Amino acid sequence: MARAAIFAAGCLTSVAAQAQKLPAGFVYLRDIDPTIIQDIRYAGSNNFVGRPLKGYEAAECVVKREVGRLLRSVQEELAPQNLSLKMFDCYRPARAVADMVAWSRDGRETPAQKRYNPSFRKADLFRLGYIAERSGHSTGAALDLTLVDLKVDNSAAFDSTKDYADCTANVNLRAPEGSVDMGTGYDCSDVKAHTAAKSIAPAQRRWREKLVQAMARRGFVNYSKEWWHFSLPGAGGQAYDFPISSRK
């Protein structure tokens, strides 16, 4: 019995230690709702920088607890429609934001990077409002996400060796994202990615409206230049710089 008690106490201590990896008020979204799909793009190479950003040690969505609970509520609304949220980015360490800034000023333009900003020089992305030197993501209250239609085949995977069309091209030509067609790819720095863009098809506009409305019912506000970006007013606060590490 004594050994069992010691073992149980050790397990509880281990669980508590894991829980304490995050600052107070932050949670792993998987612990709130494991059904929400995650494709944390800055933890890999499938992003506009072409490599993992600093601070992304694991492909995990970390958010403020209140934000996680509201996302679970959105997911519960979508589930009967055979739809799911898909997270592209959640909490973003301040060091990752600084990494983006350094990237924008390195003076290099590669074909892979141009897939994400086909009409602009990357040095102009801050001036045009596509990248910010201080990001709401670093507070844990901003999110990048999309919708997934669970009734269709979403198995197509990104191939880093393939020469995809830019993010404004037809969905069959640009890099696959395993989600509904929103008219552009994620992180597309282009007027076509503006939420109310007139240059997209009616079906694409309906998907955007469905996402915006579902999020708005829980208090989330969309950023007009990015159909994928949402924030929860009042849930932010200070910016953090702790790295995103594995849950276990």
Cα 112 from Cα 174, distance rounded (Å)? 12
Contact 91, 60 (CB under 8 A): no
* Complete edge-to-edge strand list for the sheet that includes strand 37-38: 37-38, 83-89, 142-149, 226-231, 221-223
Binding residues, by number, are: 137, 144, 229
Catalytic site residue 57? no
Cα 94 from Cα 89, distance rounded (Å)? 14
DSSP state of 141: -
Spatial CA neighbour of 143 closest among 52, 220, 45:
220
Amino acid identity of 21?
K
Question: Which conformational region is residue 66 in: left (phi greater than 0), alpha (psi within -120 to 50 degrees), or beta?
Answer: alpha
Tell me how many degrees the CA angle 66-46-34 measures, rounded to the nearest 5: 35
DSSP state of 118: T
Contact 45, 160 (CB under 8 A): yes
Q: What is the enclosing helix (H) or strand (E) of 89?
A: strand 83-89
Contact 180, 146 (CB under 8 A): yes
Spatial CA neighbour of 182 closest among 200, 153, 204:
204
Binding residues for Zn(2+), by number, are: 137, 144, 229
The catalytic residue among 60, 76, 209, 226 is 226
**Residues annotated as catalytic (active site), given as ranges:** 226
